[in-house]
Amino acid sequence: MAALAGSAIHNALIEIDGPEVPILDGSAMPFVKGLLARGLREQAAPVRAVRVLKTVEVREGEAMARLEPAEMLEIDFRISFDDAAIGTQTRSLNMANGAFVRELSDSRTFCRQSDVDAMRDRGLALGGTLHNAVVFEGDRILTPGGLRHHDEPVRHKMLDALGDLALAGGPILGRYTGDRAGHALTNRLLRALFADPGAFRLVDCGPQTVGKLPGVGVHRGDLPVHP
């Protein structure tokens, strides 16, 4: 979902012939690369976006997710882990144009070795390897080659958030703030937004707004390059 939203694809038919979407390298970059290589087609219908009109917030324990009014999509995120190799990370990004492709698309999912052991004990994540996730253990990074960015974990959380927000059915025009938030909490946030008719408005985007949506105008040259 993040690859679609971050590549400015608002209308797509997706067919999957297996039980789940392939993880590939654990980031959105292989999907973005494939989408851009195939090419996009502009349609005559206007892009319909969800404009946030007032602040909506949900919490669960120490985790929080919030949407508030803003002209364009902005994402602020904070994570905090006991593992020294992750620690506390924060990042803010205006998602206009190709920011997702350049700054976030290559950031891989991550976990701790203890999480991997627990999942495998339950027969889960059997296809997971050190080549499709960043695995941490205390102050060590177990994945060969280390990190693609010094703050790759928080960037991946922002990638997740963009994909989760795409479930709104159109681009979000607002500011998203996540503090230790995950997929479930962002989904609850969207449900809270749509439960309040005064909190949002569906709008047709004019040329000026469309030009600042995530992914508009991106090309393969915007993709990060890794060995």
At residue 124 the predicted structure's pLDDT band, cuts being 50, 70 and 90, is low
pTM score of the predicted model:
0.92
Domain residues for the domain of 208 are 2-11+23-222
Q: How far apart, in Å, do the first and last CA atoms of the chain sit? A: 25
Q: Is 183 a catalytic residue?
A: yes
Residue 31 lies in a domain: yes
In a domain, 167, yes or no: yes
Indicate the pLDDT class of residue 218, thresholds 50, 70 and 90.
confident
Find the mean pLDDT for residues 21-44.
91
Quick one: pLDDT at residue 187?
98
In this prediction, residue 62 carries a pLDDT of 95
84-93, 121-130, 185-194, 200-209: lowest mean pLDDT where? 121-130
Q: Is residue 145 part of a domain?
A: yes
Q: Does residue 227 fall inside a structural domain?
A: no
> Which residue would you say has higher pLDDT here, 113 or 51?
51
Task: State how many domains the chain has.
Answer: 1
CATH of the domain at 190: 3.30.1700.10
Percent of the chain at pLDDT > 90 equals 72
Structure-model confidence comparison of residues 12 and 119, the more confident one: 12
Domain contains 163: yes
The active-site residue, picked from 131, 150, 183, 226, is 183
Average pLDDT (50-55) is: 98
pLDDT of residue 55: 98
Average pLDDT over every residue of 52-69: 98
